[in-house]
Amino acid sequence: MAELKPSLGLDIGTSTIVAARVDDSGNPVFKLHRDAFYEIVPVSAINFKTIRKGLDEKKVDYIVRDKSIYVIGEEAIKLANERHQNARRPLNRGVISVRSAP
């Protein structure tokens, strides 16, 4: 019988991204990531450093672009909710949304 090679699958939805693979034992392994981001615009260089330090300590995924910090994934939704705002989603009806572009 031929040996099965590990497989990988990816589903990019409008609210979640799911990756699936088969481990060495033949068991499926899934990883889910929320498809959302939240923009933070620091008001000063000190504020920028403080925000980054806090995000690093919490091990939050983020991207720095220009003078903004973009928190991504589940933490983006949580942070937006804490601030009574909305996280944005890069996809709308299965395609990249122009409205959500930073």
State pLDDT tens for residues 44-88: 999 999 999 999 999 999 999 988 999 999 999 999 999 999 998
State pLDDT tens for residues 82-92: 999 999 887 66
How many helices (H) and strands (E) are present in the chain, helices listed first? 2, 8
Task: Tell how far CA 42 is from the center of its chain.
Answer: 20
Q: What is the value of pTM for the model shown?
A: 0.73
State pLDDT tens for residues 15-54: 888 999 888 888 889 999 888 899 999 999 999 999 999 9
- Give the H or E element holding residue 46: helix 45-57
